[in-house]
Structure 1
Amino acid sequence: MKFRTIMQSAAVVFLASCANQKMNSSHKYPETKKVSHTDTYFGAQVADPYRWLEDDRAEDTNDWVQREFKFTQDYLSKIGFREQIRTQLKDLWNYEKISAPFKEGDFTYFYKNDGLQAQSVLYRTDRSGKTEVFLDPNKFSEKGTTSLAGVSFNKKGNLVAYSISEGGSDWNKIIIMNALTKEIIDETIVDVKFSGASWLGDEGFFYSSYDKPKGSELSAQTDTHKVYFHKLGTKQSADKMIIGGESFKRRYMGVGVSDDGRFQILSASEATNGNELYIKDPKKHKDFVAVQKGYDYNTDFIDSKGDWIYALTDRNAPNMRLVKFHIDRPDVWTDVIPETENVLSVSTGAGYIFARYMKDAVTSVQQLDYDGKLIRTVELPGIGTAAGFGGKDDAAEVYYSFTNYITPGTIYKFNPKTGVSEVYQKPKVKFDPANYVSEQVFYTSKDGTKIPMMINYRKGTKLDGKNPTILYSYGGFNISLQPAFSVVNAVWMDNGGIYAVPNIRGGGEYGKKWHDAGTKFQKKNVFDDFIAAGEYLQQKGYTSPEYMALSGRSNGGLLVGAVMTMRPDLAKVTFPGVGVLDMLRYNKFTAGAGWSYDYGTAEDSKEMFEYLKSYSPVHNVRKGVCYPSTMIITSDHDDRVVPAHSFKFGAELQEKQSCSNPVLVRIEVNAGHGAGRSTDQVIAENTDLLSFALYEMGIRNIKK
């Protein structure tokens, strides 16, 4: 969800708010007004005294933010080592980052960031070896806050449609260009959301969007997706709606085109889990033909070979399987890669299928032909996360990345004929993995479930319970947290910190069953798993409550908000980031209703309402409780999870906090839910996060 920029003059806005200063005289927060607003759910009345903070266009909301700015700036200015942390982050961040290359037409493209550039630049190299800048997002806006959200070439590589996001918004624009001359050749397509551009030859491309909301563009509900076709040389106003609207109402939809240009594939869904799949061969079909109806399963198009379509599905396979079917018999599926005990994902390139398996959150890879015959198991550089292995069918090699928590991401070139990998690009980071430990443990949650957790720290760390520790997780939407290197975590560990990541339920680490075990009426399993991870770290001497910080973003922000209200004694510091914090109203904003598979809604039933209310962070802040030192993180252009969640939670905490632990709400200006932020924005946020954590743990000096 999205919130308008409310302090144009400030690069970053911090705020804290309290309606009742008598609760805590040590922090004189500016007052936050309360209103008499009550909602009724199944006969139960629920007060919402900070409902006015949902209005992102109101002057009193604007005024509230500005009045809070000085208080929090003053608080953070007390941290003597804050600039030292910033310098450490910038110093370690300042290395060249290069992506895997990809070919389009006669050019090879790649992304590169020289080190501290706001956005990575898209370069290309021609057949003679000459390299030039193709697109430089740093020139899209003055402060680097307009990002390149996607790039789509036609099959010949002579045309390109690229998407831009301004201030991190999910509302994008598509710019159409002659890729050979870099000349813009058509009008800009505006008001595009949750969509790429899929080319149909040289004629034009498919894209998806919603009608512009009548209320706030940043927070009003968007629930009816439409697929359009833009024909080159015509106005957007003349674009034909292919499918969608009231006649085919779905919350999310997109049409893609197979690599051979023959098939059009429609995926449609009502939530973030489960989809319908349709396919169309224009030479045979007037309309799309159903492959899968209903929303009980996830099935995605992977590739086509002649009349055969390949799809990845969890239908009758919670850990996924790859199937194929004939275009004339889309109801008859044959296994190409059967389900195994480990979760499967696939990619294709160089005429092969690459099966990536996840076991206990780490990757193994197999190379197969299109009949599912095993060619080889790919030898990876170590234990960690491998991604990539995609490319054109006629490519001579494919590329992949490898990383873990103490290994900076390295790009490898893989020869599919010989099975040999070689380093393509190794980053020159001032970080020596030999000085650090990354270990996996398994601990027991409240109901006896075994949960894996990766614990990372500098060698020689004493397990005396006094180590600053960040416990980070997500726990939802089938998203898996696999090991990956982070400059932020490296700086944290270099300052004596421990970084721990449990793979809790709600994620996809063990397939659909693991995901479902953390949804709806089982959502509290997620919180129990996270709490048990913290208790394990404390029992084993890694840390103690006074030295622990809880961190998570988005659904992970909900995780932190729920746990800190359930167990305020678990940690000293909490960071609920861009979090879903009002569980009774999350579905009222932008595309929030699409999260109902994981959460359910307060309108579903009395039982669902009562369950949601029992853990909703906004509704479970209690007077007389000492809550951890808290920095709530949000962004003014977040139109995924609107800032109102964070504002209301912050107001509740600041009113009812019973001790001197501060409650801050950090608002990033010209930023969205996370993607597309400039390097400066990312460094600034993490400077404050690491500094606040250490300071609140009682640390006043860090190493030089």
Structure 2
Amino acid sequence: MNTALLFATTILMTLSTSSATAAVATPPDADKRPHVVRAPHGAERDDEYYWLRDDEREDKAVLAYLEAENAYADRLMAPLEPLENALYEEIVGRIKQDDSSIPARERGWWYYARYETGKDYPIHARRKDGPGVDALSIQQANERGDFEGEQVLLDVNALADGKDYYAVGAYEVSQDNTMLAWADDTNGRRQYTVRFRDLATGQPYPEELRGTSGDLVFADDNRTVFYIENDPETLLTKRVKRHVIGTDPAQDAVVYEEVDDSFYMGIDRTRDDRYIVIGVSSTVSDELRYAPAADPQAFTVLAPRERDLEYQADHLGDRWVILTNADGAKNFKLVEAPSGSASRKAWTDVVAHDEDVLLETFELFDGFIALGERSDALERVRILRPGREDEHVAADEPAYSMGLSANTEPDTTKLRYTYTSLTTPATTYELDTATGERVLLKQQPVLGYDPTQYVTERVWATARDGERIPVSLVYRKGFKRDGTAAMLQYAYGSYGMSMDPGFSITTVSLLDRGVVYALAHIRGGQEMGRRWYDAGKLLNKVNTFTDFIDVTDHLVAQGYAAKDRVAAAGGSAGGLLMGAVSNMAPDRYRVILSQVPFVDVVTTMLDASIPLTTNEYDEWGNPEQRQYYDYMLTYSPYDNLKAQAYPAMFVGTGLWDSQVQYWEPAKYVARLRDVDTGGGPLVFRTNMEAGHGGKSGRFRRFREQAEMYAFMLDQLGAK
């Protein structure tokens, strides 16, 4: 027994060492320590597990408890190790290990990433453009293992060597193609360090920019870099700074500082490279500043922030093009304004508002605009050309996902877009908008997979208030809708994030075992337009949870699953969903998979020192106001745990998570162990090195998923 576990055993007095059976049968039991959480309006709540919060991740008792839970999880999962290994081998066996991305051309170079067999991380590289060099020829050379003429920018395998966690957040090359800047994270908290290298000599520069968001932009002098510095306490994006490569970062000037913690910040260059832009966004408001990339001294506000005014803007040629909800355009509209007069008074409609079509994104080209939109819970790509009727890119399946791909240069007639579905691996096409010719650039290789053996469909479930909820389904051919199958239902339902049906190599292992996979497009996302989001946030949040339950009831009633063989899964805000539905309807689910779950809503939203709290008042409400406090208490998973039979549950978190802090699921599991009368297994797994996204590396994360799926399949009797 290691030291940490021995300490845990001593302080908790719960893990029996007399027999392995007893150890498995007796999970850790965290101490209860009285603590009262008070709201400004006088309300009080008891939180006996508040002590599990340790911002520094150094408290020995806390770490020992987490280690004890991991040890208990190891013992509980040991009998399922053969199934876990089988799932892992199946998943990894579908991966073409020496794969590469589609090269994209920019300023005379083709950029791409490629993997080598057996390695976890990509190699970012580029090749010089020239006669006979294009995306397809480079892909073919990579497949042959012919890397002559390649310049390696970052070998992430070498950078990650010896580290438990490593991720490159972004990298940028200067406008003259000679300087490299990249940002990396070594613990999963998304606090990046920026580093520099001379691409001509290969020599690194000594300085490091620490505590950044990872966003990088070069100015036209190829030596000046703009970056975002995070607040060291809240970890929120706070200041845009200017750094000159080769100088002391302590001397970096602050270009812009955001005083409102409810706004996130990003930096970029416009489509035509004319401007450097600083964008700040809250849940309900945006503001963009721009400065000439050739002389970025003073930044001009495009449109001043106003509550409930959202917009995103880009520049090409002599105009700004802006996607906005201004003037009551709830589903957004597209407008334009002259370069020299971009105030709202000069905005004129390019695409008017449509109650049935949500406009989400756009890409500017010299001769056309590509518009990403959605209608009836399906994504579309629309092409706008002067003097011609709008054209939609065709799709072939009832439920699919489609979107704009990497279109790095505006002076082309060719548009890259991606297409995928629950049965079709991710596919990238290049459409010539002048001729209509479509070229398949790449489809995700999936070894041993035959898409003709699987079926996808779109169904609609009626919610208790009469709304129709779209659901995307996939199952193996030969499935009979007779009410006997096992089913995994997934959803998210927050922040207006739409969960579109895309292919997953991990899901195939479930389908091959007879499991039906259901993706519920519940309120809180934007699958059905902006109203869908509004109907699932703030004082309407409960719709998100009841929609999920109603979808389950519908699918069971229609014979897609047996009522005692339903699993549910969600992560982050989707983990909130899992906690809520397991409180509200525990009898509907045999097993719950909950990753990095946001389950202690009221306490977290009362604490402005926690990253993301103040940013999210417009999503959840501010519990300092009694109306929102009382409403949150009706669904907050931690606060609504009670004596009842809960489903079997697998809860996962990362010790270094900066978005949903580890102590939320830790407290939740500790209290759930106190009240659950069902006797089903409860696994709590903490990754002691990772953050919100789990382990780094393309294979390591599949090991985590295989463990969860083994747990679920065992509970569903679908091994």
Give the alignment's TM-score, normalised by structure 1.
Answer: 0.89
1:74 aligns with 2:75: yes
In 2, the alpha carbon distance for the partners of 1:141 and 1:646 equals 29
Q: SS of 2:536's equivalent?
A: coil
Q: Deviations over 1:398-433 (max 9, x none)?
A: 422211111011222232332211111233312111
**CA offset at residue 380 of structure 1?**
4.6
Write the letter of the residue equivalent to 2:287: E
8 Å Cα contact 1:386/1:400 also seen in 2: yes
Q: Deviations over 1:122-166 (max 9, x none)?
A: 222223553343322111122573122112233333333222122
Out of 336, 358, 363, which is 1:347 matched to? 363
In 2, the alpha carbon distance for the partners of 1:164 and 1:557 equals 27
Write the letter of the residue equivalent to 1:310: V
**CA offset at residue 438 of structure 1?**
0.5
8 Å Cα contact 1:564/1:628 also seen in 2: yes
Partner residue, 1:334: 348
Partner residue, 1:503: 521
Partner residue, 1:139: 158
1:48 aligns with 2:63: no
8 Å Cα contact 1:278/1:292 also seen in 2: no
Distance 1:431 1:140, change over 3 A: same
Distance 1:127 1:288, change over 3 A: closer
Q: Deviations over 1:486-537 (max 9, x none)?
A: 0111111111111100111111112222111111100001001101111111
Distance 1:124 1:168, change over 3 A: same
Distance 1:257 1:428, change over 3 A: closer
Number of corresponding residues: 674
In 2, the alpha carbon distance for the partners of 1:433 and 1:571 equals 29
Of 346-355 and 454-463, deviating more is 346-355
In 2, the alpha carbon distance for the partners of 1:453 and 1:183 equals 53
**CA offset at residue 281 of structure 1?**
5.3
Distance 1:424 1:286, change over 3 A: closer
8 Å Cα contact 1:348/1:391 also seen in 2: no
Partner residue, 1:533: 551
8 Å Cα contact 1:26/1:660 also seen in 2: no
1:304 aligns with 2:319: no
8 Å Cα contact 2:15/2:28 also seen in 1: no
Q: Deviations over 1:218-237 (max 9, x none)?
A: xxx34571111112222211
Write the letter of the residue equivalent to 2:122: S
Q: SS of 2:522's equivalent?
A: coil
Partner residue, 2:583: 565
Partner residue, 2:34: 36
In 2, the alpha carbon distance for the partners of 1:165 and 1:495 equals 38
Out of 631, 641, 666, which is 2:685 matched to? 666
Out of 377, 382, 388, which is 2:392 matched to? 377
8 Å Cα contact 1:412/1:422 also seen in 2: yes
In 2, the alpha carbon distance for the partners of 1:667 and 1:694 equals 21
Write the letter of the residue equivalent to 2:430: K
Q: SS of 2:288's equivalent?
A: strand
Q: Deviations over 1:459-511 (max 9, x none)?
A: 11122323221100000111111111001111111111111001111111122
User: What value does the CA root-mean-square deviation take over the aligned residues?
Assistant: 2.8
Distance 1:372 1:48, change over 3 A: farther
Q: SS of 2:495's equivalent?
A: coil
Q: Which aligned pairs between 1:144-223 and structure 2 lie closer than 5 A?
A: 145-185=165-205, 187-193=207-213, 195-213=215-233, 221-223=234-236
In 1, the alpha carbon distance for the partners of 2:369 and 2:170 equals 24
8 Å Cα contact 2:216/2:267 also seen in 1: no
In 2, the alpha carbon distance for the partners of 1:107 and 1:679 equals 27
Out of 625, 643, 646, which is 2:662 matched to? 643
Of 188-197 and 524-533, deviating more is 188-197
8 Å Cα contact 2:15/2:26 also seen in 1: no
Partner residue, 2:289: 278
8 Å Cα contact 2:334/2:350 also seen in 1: yes
8 Å Cα contact 1:18/1:651 also seen in 2: no
Q: Which aligned pairs between 1:351-362 and structure 2 lie closer than 5 A?
A: 351-362=367-378
**CA offset at residue 101 of structure 1?**
2.0
Indicate the structure whose relative CO is greater, using CA pairs within 8 Å and at least 6 residues apart. 1
8 Å Cα contact 1:230/1:239 also seen in 2: yes
In 2, the alpha carbon distance for the partners of 1:44 and 1:208 equals 38
**CA offset at residue 337 of structure 1?**
2.0
Distance 1:132 1:602, change over 3 A: same
Partner residue, 1:3: none
8 Å Cα contact 2:278/2:289 also seen in 1: yes
In 1, the alpha carbon distance for the partners of 2:214 and 2:195 equals 16
In 2, the alpha carbon distance for the partners of 1:463 and 1:8 equals 53
In 2, the alpha carbon distance for the partners of 1:121 and 1:144 equals 19
Partner residue, 1:229: 242
1:426 aligns with 2:428: no
What stretches of structure 2 of length at least 5 have no aligned partner?
Answer: 17-21, 134-148
Write the letter of the residue equivalent to 1:598: E
In 1, the alpha carbon distance for the partners of 2:266 and 2:678 equals 50
**CA offset at residue 65 of structure 1?**
1.4
Of 176-185 and 665-674, deviating more is 176-185
Partner residue, 1:404: 421
8 Å Cα contact 1:152/1:161 also seen in 2: yes
Distance 1:380 1:598, change over 3 A: same
8 Å Cα contact 2:276/2:296 also seen in 1: no
Q: Deviations over 1:330-374 (max 9, x none)?
A: 1221111222322222123464311122223323222224x5854
Distance 1:496 1:448, change over 3 A: same
In 1, the alpha carbon distance for the partners of 2:203 and 2:440 equals 35
8 Å Cα contact 2:191/2:230 also seen in 1: no
Q: SS of 2:544's equivalent?
A: helix
Out of 96, 101, 104, which is 2:103 matched to? 101
8 Å Cα contact 1:148/1:676 also seen in 2: no
8 Å Cα contact 1:552/1:575 also seen in 2: yes
Q: SS of 1:617's equivalent?
A: coil
In 2, the alpha carbon distance for the partners of 1:85 and 1:456 equals 19
Q: SS of 1:584's equivalent?
A: helix
Distance 1:468 1:116, change over 3 A: farther
Partner residue, 1:4: none
Out of 585, 593, 597, which is 2:618 matched to? 597
Q: SS of 1:422's equivalent?
A: strand
Partner residue, 1:320: 332
**CA offset at residue 201 of structure 1?**
4.1
Write the letter of the residue equivalent to 1:77: A
Distance 1:336 1:637, change over 3 A: same
In 2, the alpha carbon distance for the partners of 1:476 and 1:54 equals 25
In 2, the alpha carbon distance for the partners of 1:608 and 1:496 equals 43
In 2, the alpha carbon distance for the partners of 1:60 and 1:534 equals 40
Write the letter of the residue equivalent to 1:644: W
Q: Deviations over 1:624-676 (max 9, x none)?
A: x1100000111122111111111011111112111220111112243221177
**CA offset at residue 186 of structure 1?**
5.5
Q: Deviations over 1:446-465 (max 9, x none)?
A: 11111100011001112232
Q: SS of 1:655's equivalent?
A: helix
Partner residue, 1:253: 265
In 2, the alpha carbon distance for the partners of 1:522 and 1:198 equals 43
Q: SS of 2:685's equivalent?
A: strand
Out of 585, 606, 618, which is 2:626 matched to? 606
Q: SS of 2:579's equivalent?
A: helix
Write the letter of the residue equivalent to 2:42: G
In 1, the alpha carbon distance for the partners of 2:387 and 2:483 equals 51
**CA offset at residue 38 of structure 1?**
0.6
In 2, the alpha carbon distance for the partners of 1:57 and 1:46 equals 26
Distance 1:250 1:573, change over 3 A: closer
Write the letter of the residue equivalent to 2:634: S
In 1, the alpha carbon distance for the partners of 2:102 and 2:86 equals 33
Partner residue, 1:391: 408
Q: SS of 1:292's equivalent?
A: coil
Write the letter of the residue equivalent to 1:87: E
8 Å Cα contact 1:582/1:619 also seen in 2: yes
Distance 1:648 1:284, change over 3 A: closer
In 1, the alpha carbon distance for the partners of 2:387 and 2:456 equals 35
8 Å Cα contact 2:537/2:620 also seen in 1: yes
In 2, the alpha carbon distance for the partners of 1:156 and 1:25 equals 63
Q: SS of 2:673's equivalent?
A: helix
1:244 aligns with 2:254: no
**CA offset at residue 180 of structure 1?**
4.3
In 2, the alpha carbon distance for the partners of 1:561 and 1:401 equals 34
